[in-house]
Structure formats: structure tokens, C-alpha cells
Amino acid sequence: MIRTGVEASVVRGEFTARGRRMLVAVEIQRQTQRRRVQVNRQPLRRSSDLRRELATVVFQPDDLQIVKGPPATRRAACDEAVALLYPEAEELQVRLGNCLRQRNALLRGLTVSQRRGPLDVSISQTLDVWDERLAMAGTAWAEYRIRALEVVSPLMSQIYSRLNPGSSTFVELSYQPDWLGAGLRASLAAARREDVERSVTTVGPHRDEIFWSLLGMPARTHASQGQQKALALAFRLALHDALSATRGQPPLLMLDDVFSELDPERRKILPRLFPSSQVVLTATESYPAATRESEVVDVTALLLGQAGWAAAIS
């Protein structure tokens, strides 16, 4: 958020990660909308490097869309889990994106006549090469997705059942791409005719569905809105637990307006599910007293205009 009339917005924070004190500053420029991140006053090359320095798991009201939205939202959530759990996979993700862009560019560059008839040898040989690069990167990425879900899914099922005591709740996240049987290379070859006609790569991890199921039924269509919100929250909490276990250092957990997203029953239970590490909550109303050792920062002053603003930051 950038206040009207100023050029940039800066958020500063002080953290302790792996016993090291860290000063983090994130600046968002109005004009470019670019983020610049500094750690201990040293600029980071890429703002995504902050993820290595300081892992964070964030729940936002928008997360409902992970369950309810189109497959792309579930892919993005899964890929975020991969990136957090396996930072070494970042290069692979970039590579996969580049393979796809290159293959699609090649398909788009074909002329109408090239698209209709049998493919020119030189074109089909070039496509072979990109198919193979894409197949290697895509298969490796799918393996990461499967690994991440195998870690997160059981934790999520546990958390979800604690959020819903007394009812039977089996939650599962799974990923079984159609192309896995034949292999991506062969599936790309099989889809080539269609890909050429449509100028786009129709098979691969960028098209797959990640299944979120509740009691064996797809949560997108069979869960109520309340259940869907709880599922999204359970996913974030499970990701937090998985990261704490693998990194030996709990990530920062931020829950944005979580209480207004839950029904009264779950609102009461949620604080008991908080990890012992730091949790940052934002809320538009006062929240249950059950949250222990909390420090409350009242930002109502910020809404009172300039005077209040000045008072709040001084």
C-alpha cells in the first residue's frame, strides 16, 4: 500500500533467523511497482532471495480461491510449497518456464501453411529438441510437486480434523498428471498435432490439476464455503509445520484477517493450533482472548488522517 501523494512505501522489520539478527527493508516504488529488498542494508539481487533468508507463510482471505478457483490457483499454491520446501528447485522452475516459453514461441512462429500440412523436417527436429528439454524439466518439477504434497497433505489432514472436531474429515492433496504413465516426452509427441494447430503447449505441469479432496470428493465442488476457508487455512498451517520440520527453524506465520473468515466454532479452536513460534495476526475487530502472550498493536490511529498518522508513528 502506498499513501496518496508519496513516491514509495517502505516496510522495515527486524528478525532473528538462525540466531542471526536481520534488518529487512522492503520498498515499493509507485511508478515502477517494483520491490526492492535490503537485508542488513545490503540490497538483494532478486527480491525472491528474501525467501532463502527469511521464510514466511502467509494466509490471506483470498486463499479461499486456492480451493474454489481454477486449477491455476492450486498449481500456484503447490509450486509455492515446492519453492519454500526445496529452495534448490528454484533454478528448475525458471528453466521449466523458459522451456515452455521457447516451445510456445516456436509454435506461434509457424506460418499458416506450415501449420496445416505435415511438418517440415527442420521444424519437427527443432520441436523435438524443445520437447525433450521441456520433458526433462517438467518431469523433474512434477516429482518435486509430488514430494511436497506427500509432506504437506498428511499434516494438513491432521490440522483440518483438529479444526473440525467430532466430524469425519479426511483431506488429501494429490497430483497424478495424465501424462505420467506414458511419460511427458511421449505425451508431448502425441499432442504435437494439436499443439501445432493451437500454437500452444497443451500438455505438461503448467496444465495439470492438483486435486484437493475432502472425504474423497473434490473440495472445489463438494465442500461448503466454510469448509473451503478452513481447508485453505489448514494448507497454510501445514506448510508452516512442514517448513519448521525440514528447516529446523520455524518460518514466520502471518495470518491476515483470519478470524473474520471463520465461523465462531473454528474461531475458538484456531488459537490452539498456533505454533509455538511467532505468529503475526491482523484483524479488524478484537479477536479471541485465548491467544497467549500476545502483543497488540492498535492501528486505529492510522485511520484518523494526518494527525493520527503522525501520532501513531512517532
Q: Site residues (CB under 8 A) for other proteins?
A: 91, 95, 98-99, 101-103, 105-106, 109, 122-123, 125-126, 128-130, 132-133
Of 36 and 185, which CB lies nearer to other proteins in the complex structure? Answer: 185
Name which of 82, 83, 84, 190 is nearest 135 in CA terms.
190
Kindly state the smallest distance separating residue 139's Cβ from other proteins, in Å: 14
Of 128 and 143, which CB lies nearer to other proteins in the complex structure? Answer: 128
Kindly state the smallest distance separating residue 46's Cβ from other proteins, in Å: 14
Cell of 273: 493450533
Contact criterion met (CB below 8 Å) for 32 and 56: no
DSSP letter, residue 54: S
What is the number of other CB atoms lying within 10 angstroms of the CB of residue 30?
Answer: 13
Kindly state the smallest distance separating residue 203's Cβ from other proteins, in Å: 18
Instruction: Report d(CA 303, CA 171) in Å as an integer.
Output: 41
Kindly state the smallest distance separating residue 19's Cβ from other proteins, in Å: 31
Of 125 and 174, which CB lies nearer to other proteins in the complex structure? Answer: 125
Kindly state the smallest distance separating residue 312's Cβ from other proteins, in Å: 38
Of 51 and 185, which CB lies nearer to other proteins in the complex structure? Answer: 185
CA distances in angstroms from 298 to 164, 267, 279, 283, listed in the order given: 31, 20, 16, 10
Q: Phi/psi at 176 (nearest 5 deg)?
A: -135, 80
Of 48 and 65, which CB lies nearer to other proteins in the complex structure? Answer: 48
